[in-house]
């Protein structure tokens, strides 16, 4: 028996060419199958309930371009002025009752003493413009005189002897007399 190296090569090359043919067919058919599947999905897919249709399009556009914030103009002439204690209970107590974020606790004379030494105007400015972790209170829910009353209320509980500010006088429009 003689060994012919040429015979083994023929058998191997035949199976390699068959494998190459299969890979080639697969490489050509796979993109076509994927494309056909995507087209079928897009064409036959029904959108879920609540998605946009022709009748809801204007509402959806209006919602997307709606204003983020609003400006509220109030007439403060008829508004009831709050006392310092009311403002404290509604706004200031969250931090000043517990000493949160380094705020002086209500009634703690040792914590309030250095602040009281700066004077009422400095305390009021800190409250209106904010200081350290305290947000500015000016321009918020309460007018400046109400914030001033809250400052006096807290400082006096800490040992100060500040006089409570009076409510601002409302400007009444006087009727114009006809000549």
Position 97 scores a pLDDT of: 83
In a domain, 96, yes or no: yes
And the tokens for 176?
């114009």
Could you tell me which of 84, 168, 93 has the C-alpha nearest to residue 120?
84
| CB-side neighbour CA atoms (13 Å) of 107 | 4
Position 1 scores a pLDDT of: 52
Helical H segments across 50-175, by residue range: 57-64, 84-87, 93-96, 109-117, 120-129, 144-157
Position 133 scores a pLDDT of: 82
For residue 133, the Cα-to-chain-centroid distance in whole angstroms is 18
CATH number of residue 99's parent domain: 1.10.760.10
- Length of the chain (residues): 179
Q: Tell me the per-residue pLDDT of 101-113, one tens digit each, with 9 for 90 and over.
A: 888 888 888 888 8
Q: Residue 125: which domain range?
A: 81-157
Position 6 scores a pLDDT of: 53
Position 33 scores a pLDDT of: 92
In a domain, 90, yes or no: yes
In a domain, 71, yes or no: no
Give the number of domains in the chain: 1
In a domain, 108, yes or no: yes
Sign of the Cα pseudo-torsion (86, 91, 165, 156, in order): positive
List average pLDDT for each run of 10 residues in the chain, which is 179 residues long. Answer: 52 73 90 90 70 71 82 74 86 85 85 87 86 79 86 86 76 45
Position 65 scores a pLDDT of: 86
In a domain, 91, yes or no: yes
Position 14 scores a pLDDT of: 63
CA 154, CA 113: separation in Å to the nearest integer?
Answer: 12
* DSSP code, position 77: G
In a domain, 46, yes or no: no
In a domain, 132, yes or no: yes
In a domain, 142, yes or no: yes
């Amino acid at each position: 028996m003689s060994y012919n190296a040429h015979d083994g090569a023929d058998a191997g090359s035949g199976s390699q060419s068959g494998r190459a043919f299969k890979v080639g067919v697969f490489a050509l058919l796979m993109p076509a199958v994927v494309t056909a599947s995507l087209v079928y999905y897009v064409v036959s897919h029904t959108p879920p309930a609540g998605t946009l249709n022709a009748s809801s399009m204007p509402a959806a556009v209006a919602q997307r371009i709606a204003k983020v914030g609003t400006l509220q103009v109030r007439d403060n002439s008829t508004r009831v002025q709050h006392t310092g204690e009311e403002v404290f209970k509604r706004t200031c107590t969250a931090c000043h009752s517990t000493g949160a974020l380094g705020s002086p606790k209500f009634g703690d004379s040792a914590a309030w003493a250095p602040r009281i030494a700066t004077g009422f105007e400095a305390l009021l400015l800190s409250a209106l413009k904010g200081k350290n972790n305290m947000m500015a209170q000016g321009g918020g829910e309460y007018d400046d005189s109400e914030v001033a009353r809250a400052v006096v209320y807290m400082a006096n509980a800490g040992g100060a002897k500040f006089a409570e500010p009076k409510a601002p006088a409302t400007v009444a429009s006087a009727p114009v007399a006809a000549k």
